[in-house]
Structure 1
Amino acid sequence: MGSSLRLLPADGDGGSDGDAQSCCRFGPVVMDPFDGPGSPRHEEQEEAGRAESRSRWARFSSWLECACVVTFDLELGQAIELVYPQDVKLTEKEKTSICYLSFPDSYSGCLGDTQFSFRFRQSVGRRTSRLRDDLYNRDAPVTLQRETAHFFGYVYFRQVKDVSVKRGYFQKSLVLVSRLPYTHLFHSLMQTIAPEFFEKHEPCLEAVCNEIDQWPTPVPGQTLNLPVMGVILQVRIPSKFDKPGGSPVRQTAKENLLPVPTLLPTIHELDLFKCFQSILIHLQMLWELTLLGEPLVVMAPSPTVSSETVLALISSISPLKFCCDFRPYFTIHDSEFREYTTRTQAPPSVVLGVTNPFFIKTFQSWPHIVRLGEVKMAGDLPKQVKVKKLSKLKTLDTKPGIYTAYKTFLHKDKILIKRLLKGIQRKRPSEVQSAILRRHLLELTQSFIIPLERYMASLMPLQRSVTPWKTPPQIRPFSQDEFLSTLDHAGPQLTSLLRGDWIGLYRKFFRSPNFDGWYRHRHREMTQKLESLHLEVICDADLLGWTKDKSEVEVVDLILKLREKLIKARRQQLQLRDGVMDKLDSFISSIISSLPADLQIVLGTGASP
């Protein structure tokens, strides 16, 4: 792989000297100070252009940020050949990340077509549609919410022999960039569009992007038909109100669609059994390491195995959100490489997927390393890797294994392992094995989380303590010791047969970013619930009666506070009883109309939206 990296100029970039001379034939150009770059008028025109572009691609951008074509140029190295839509603004840092992450570290084992995914940081200051994100995130499961600080890249890389190319190989990647973690949907979409793209090039990509711009926006709980290239993909967008581990999606027959839709049973789930088949007997350990946000490196033989294993680990603690950083595919060119490999401080809470053997030396100070090889069979069964001492991780040809000194808090579930291994011998389909595995991990995570949820709910003030004339009562603080004291009668043993040191596991979990993320999210939800209850009791109160014997100052103060609460409720998309907002808006209007004219003018200028 070339070490240099530049970006191919867009068509028409960099005018010739002749262009400059032709401009000068008409005499000196007088510059309007209000027209130049950085001028108010110029900025207004640019902003107007951006607004028009945003509305033009509004539906597309609810699914994807852009599509990129990355090629290998003998002189330039990896280079972005095309970004579509063309007016999408990627920073140089984002372009560089996409260039390096969309090609395998080593091409030798990637002849033909290869699919994988990566994740990288957005540049600081990038604008997003806050309202759209809030609406979607409000009803989406926490594990499927839009990323606010990172992009996902979904890659289809093709490497084939080509005598017309100097190196003898055609090497190119099509990349879909999105803030949605819809791994299965976007990889399925790629399987439909990429082969055609490599035949027909830019016109094909333009047509596909225009089709995606006709798709309905993703709404949690809805089943959508997504037409692309003569195929209709039928998907259901999961909702946070779905029952965990519920039934798979079934075909909807509301419309007589032609062609008949291709049903995708999931938009995000992976084939867990395929991902974990050589590490099944260590699943309990890997679940704990992921739950606790421990620094973990997955060394794999290909970007496909690397990215699928990392994403499978992250999903293993669902419905709990993994709140640490994770990189399904990470290279030495990554902008965070130095940050994550420095030896001057403890390794960060991050899960990295890598393929370059160079990383074995780089990550020797990390506490947990999963080294995967090509899956080998021992008779009918996939050969299971062994747990090994970190001191044995020294050479580039280090054998597959889990290199760690970690001791699990909970015992292995031997019944599950026997059931899965027996399933292999009986040729049980991989999707059935994955369903067994997913159910086990879901029940394990729920057994761990339910006591926390139950205790958190006990911190919520009683509904009767919410009154219209006082600020809502505070949520009681979370006491770790008080929570641990509830485990004897309301702990995980009520729902899980696994034995071990549950209390020790909770104590370590309290120090992890995953606990912090879970607690902040639940606290925010409970605070919003209190705000909703408060607005509803205010709505039910006799507000007009209260104002009759109050001074103008007190009435104005009430109006301002109510108006502020309504603005906040709209911004946060609070879920309220029907009619509450309208009734309070009406009350504010009627009270303002009863005040003196000068106050009406002052209060009228700050009317709520």
Structure 2
Amino acid sequence: MSAEIGVTLQEFQKQCRINKVKKWERFSEWIKCICVVTFDLNLGQVLEFVYPPEFVPKEQEASNICYMAFPDSNSGCMGDTKFHFSLRAVDKPSISKSISVAESTALNEYSPVRASNQSHFWGFVYFRQKKDSNIPRGYFQKSFIIMTSLPYYNLFFEVLTQLAPKYFSDGNIVIKNACQLINREWPSPQAGVLSLNLFEYNYQIFLPKMHSENIQNKKNNNLKLPNSNKEINLTSKIIYSVNEFDLFSSLEFILENLYTIWELVLTAEPIIVVGTSPADCSIMVQTLIALINPLQYYAEARPYFTIHDSEFKEFTKKYKNAYSPVILGVTNPFFVKLLTDWPHKILLADNQINLQQHIHSKYMNTNNSNTSGNNFDKTPLGNKTIPANFGAISSDALAPGLYTKYRPFLKKDKTLLNKVLHGIKTNRPAHVQTALIRRNLLELTQSFMIPLERYVASLMPLQKTINPFRLTPNAGVFNLDDFLSTLEHSGPHLTSTLKGDWRGLYRRFFYTPNFNGWYKSRRSELQLALQKIQMQTLSSTNFKVWAQDKQEVEIVDMMLKLKQKLNLYANKSSKLNYLNDINNTGTKVQLKLQINCLRESLPIDIKDVVNI
């Protein structure tokens, strides 16, 4: 009896927890929780406050968050610093208890920069450090952190900028009120223009679908200022892109290596970004990932990484004489000494803003009289071979830039580079420079991917081979040699002016996480398309004629199969649900009619028993 009561109590407690989580369902579609990390003289960095309390991180997650929340001691970040990090969730983590259908859709459909999933979280940090003689250590150090599954950098940095100073002024009540407001008023993440109210601000954001038009083409048509009575007194902030950074400002000092870096990211090569500020490192890592848009980056990336991270050994250990495919942003000089043979390193300046000014003056003094030739070849910056004693050299003594022994497969586009160089000399606005770079790299990535997309589409079985009475056929398997044989007549040279060893680049790409992730996604889409075609075939089949010479067991078996197909539509977690088109409703209705038709063909005694 006591065991029975115990089970009932556990079920009751479980239901209470579920109800508490459901209370924050809308909030958790956007944000998992808001944390405050402070420095304790005896314990170090500790989690001081978490809200909502239903989403307190597990012990390992909390430890990672605490270590990521503060810049390394050598960074010397005084005042306020904003940066972001990414961490892997622990199995069945507390902060991922209720990932909803809307959030899952947002992760899969509206996050084009990096493949997002429920196993990773993003932390957006507002760190404050200032002298305080009343504290034994002499410094006030505290971080305000937004934890989320959505990599919407520009949105959450805006929210962070609004909330963190309020918190430092008024305390925890700011966090509680903000969470309740978001839970009450924010809509679910979905494609299109969304209006998000938060205290005195109204954020107008646009969420594009993965394969929609470039967001730059939609600026004027989609985002409009609020005009409802509820929003009339709010300050409007229009965020044209939730996840695009200023590429030019980040890449200007390594512009000559742009196409080499594009290849490194495309082929998921291990890259370490070394700087003195987590803000510079995290932005650079995200910039690198964005270079291969619209292809998703499927390898690991840590915008800010410390020696205390639980994956430290995993990412810094060699496997079969090679490092893991990962991009790490670090500020601790220990990494430079530890990873002496790391194949690709990008060193940032102590102050990226000063570096931009330095580069600008260098370019301005480079042969101003001739703007039509290959001026870029005369610029002072270039990639640097990794010295044999790289780890022994202080990072302060090394010039900022790319250090690598990698030999690119493709030749760089000097036309683009000279256009950007001319823009530097003529003080062209940074956003225009960024648009030039983004457009060029977008076209390059598309040129690279179009032959792959065309080949995968050819693996789709012919529609006439789909039999309603057999299992759904599988798409063909990708064969590298077969694919390479198609390049002569339908290769990237048809759409790109870049010359080089395209075949070699494809061979290297084939063995990377980026290819595996892309191929797995495309193959899944093909299988879903085949499922839809077979369902439509089943919905139009004459089962009344088919059942005339069938045994009862065969008819019941077919009813079960139809019911199973029908459940694919009812299952909210099924990707088939996101492939809805105008025919889906008709297909579902027709499948139900087909089941009823088969039931009517059964004898009365069996018909009354079968409940499908």
Q: TM-score, normalised by structure 1?
A: 0.89
Q: Hey, what's the Cα distance between the residues in 1 that align with 2:341 and 2:605?
A: 71
Task: Say which is worse superposed, 370-379 or 445-454, in terms of deviation.
Answer: 370-379
**Residue 79 (str. 1) matches residue 79 (str. 2):** no
Aligned residues: 572
CA contact (8 A) 2:270 2:324 kept: yes
**Residue 583 (str. 1) matches residue 590 (str. 2):** yes
Task: Say which is worse superposed, 472-481 or 336-345, in terms of deviation.
Answer: 336-345
Write the deviation string for residues 374-412 of structure 1: whole angstroms up to 9, x where unpaired: 343145257735312241412352303322211000011
Query: Which residue does the alignment assign to 1:149?
Result: 119
CA contact (8 A) 2:254 2:381 kept: yes
Q: Hey, what's the Cα distance between the residues in 2 that align with 1:205 and 1:515?
A: 41
**Residue 333 (str. 1) matches residue 308 (str. 2):** yes
Q: Hey, what's the Cα distance between the residues in 2 that align with 1:536 and 1:417?
A: 51
Write the deviation string for residues 460-505 of structure 1: whole angstroms up to 9, x where unpaired: 1222333433333331221211111111111111111111111100
Shift of residue 143 of structure 1?
Answer: 3.8
The correspondence of residues 558-573 of structure 1 with structure 2, limited to 5 A, is 558-571=558-571, 572-573=574-575
Query: Which residue does the alignment assign to 1:7?
Result: none
Query: Which residue does the alignment assign to 1:11?
Result: none
SS of equivalent to 2:117: coil
Structure 1 residues 566 and 64, CA gap change in structure 2 (3 angstroms): same
CA contact (8 A) 1:381 1:425 kept: no
CA contact (8 A) 1:72 1:79 kept: yes
Q: Hey, what's the Cα distance between the residues in 2 that align with 1:145 and 1:281?
A: 28
SS of equivalent to 1:530: helix
Structure 1 residues 137 and 204, CA gap change in structure 2 (3 angstroms): closer
Q: Which has the higher helix share?
A: 2
Query: Which residue does the alignment assign to 1:20?
Result: none
Query: Which residue does the alignment assign to 1:287?
Result: 262
Query: Which residue does the alignment assign to 2:551?
Result: 551
Structure 1 residues 391 and 318, CA gap change in structure 2 (3 angstroms): same
Structure 1 residues 175 and 72, CA gap change in structure 2 (3 angstroms): same
Q: Hey, what's the Cα distance between the residues in 1 that align with 2:114 and 2:60?
A: 26
Letter in 2 for 1:358: F
Letter in 1 for 2:293: S
Write the deviation string for residues 354-388 of structure 1: whole angstroms up to 9, x where unpaired: 00001111111221111221343145257735312
Q: Hey, what's the Cα distance between the residues in 2 that align with 1:145 and 1:511?
A: 18
Structure 1 residues 534 and 390, CA gap change in structure 2 (3 angstroms): farther
Write the deviation string for residues 305-356 of structure 1: whole angstroms up to 9, x where unpaired: 1111111111111111111111010000000112222356421111111000
SS of equivalent to 1:60: helix
SS of equivalent to 2:31: coil
Shift of residue 298 of structure 1?
Answer: 0.8
**Residue 110 (str. 1) matches residue 77 (str. 2):** yes
Structure 1 residues 52 and 33, CA gap change in structure 2 (3 angstroms): same
CA contact (8 A) 1:459 1:477 kept: yes
Query: Which residue does the alignment assign to 1:310?
Result: 285
Query: Which residue does the alignment assign to 2:348?
Result: 372
The correspondence of residues 377-388 of structure 1 with structure 2, limited to 5 A, is 377-378=358-359, 380-381=361-362, 384=381, 386-388=383-385
Query: Which residue does the alignment assign to 1:209?
Result: 179
Write the deviation string for residues 83-107 of structure 1: whole angstroms up to 9, x where unpaired: 0101113110000000000100126
Query: Which residue does the alignment assign to 1:165?
Result: 135
Write the deviation string for residues 242-285 of structure 1: whole angstroms up to 9, x where unpaired: 12465143332574331253111111111111111211111111
Query: Which residue does the alignment assign to 1:541?
Result: 541
CA contact (8 A) 1:390 1:404 kept: no
Q: Hey, what's the Cα distance between the residues in 2 that align with 1:144 and 1:219?
A: 17
Shift of residue 136 of structure 1?
Answer: 3.7
Structure 1 residues 441 and 602, CA gap change in structure 2 (3 angstroms): farther
Structure 1 residues 329 and 596, CA gap change in structure 2 (3 angstroms): same
SS of equivalent to 1:548: helix
Query: Which residue does the alignment assign to 1:355?
Result: 331
**Residue 238 (str. 1) matches residue 202 (str. 2):** no
CA contact (8 A) 2:113 2:289 kept: no
SS of equivalent to 2:391: coil
SS of equivalent to 2:457: helix
Q: Hey, what's the Cα distance between the residues in 2 that align with 1:246 and 1:601?
A: 60
Query: Which residue does the alignment assign to 2:373?
Result: none
Structure 1 residues 261 and 452, CA gap change in structure 2 (3 angstroms): same
Q: Hey, what's the Cα distance between the residues in 2 that align with 1:585 and 1:139?
A: 30
Query: Which residue does the alignment assign to 2:371?
Result: none
Shift of residue 588 of structure 1?
Answer: 1.5
Superposed CA RMSD in Å reads: 2.2
Letter in 1 for 2:203: L
Letter in 2 for 1:603: V
Query: Which residue does the alignment assign to 1:397?
Result: 394
CA contact (8 A) 1:298 1:372 kept: yes
Structure 1 residues 162 and 528, CA gap change in structure 2 (3 angstroms): same
Shift of residue 598 of structure 1?
Answer: 5.2
- Work out which of the residue numbers 229, 240, 248 in structure 2 matches 1:273: 248
CA contact (8 A) 1:122 1:150 kept: yes
SS of equivalent to 1:391: coil
**Residue 507 (str. 1) matches residue 507 (str. 2):** yes
SS of equivalent to 2:346: strand
The correspondence of residues 172-183 of structure 1 with structure 2, limited to 5 A, is 172-183=142-153
Structure 1 residues 241 and 188, CA gap change in structure 2 (3 angstroms): same
Q: TM-score, normalised by structure 2?
A: 0.89
Structure 1 residues 172 and 145, CA gap change in structure 2 (3 angstroms): same
Query: Which residue does the alignment assign to 1:4?
Result: none
Q: Hey, what's the Cα distance between the residues in 2 that align with 1:300 and 1:550?
A: 73
Write the deviation string for residues 534-553 of structure 1: whole angstroms up to 9, x where unpaired: 10121122223322332212
The answer for unaligned runs of 5 or more in structure 2 is 364-379
Letter in 2 for 1:536: Q
SS of equivalent to 1:348: coil
Q: Hey, what's the Cα distance between the residues in 2 that align with 1:144 and 1:215?
A: 28
Task: Say which is worse superposed, 573-582 or 497-506, in terms of deviation.
Answer: 573-582
Write the deviation string for residues 412-435 of structure 1: whole angstroms up to 9, x where unpaired: 111211111221222222122111
CA contact (8 A) 2:286 2:303 kept: yes
Letter in 2 for 1:194: A
Shift of residue 144 of structure 1?
Answer: 5.8
Shift of residue 564 of structure 1?
Answer: 1.4
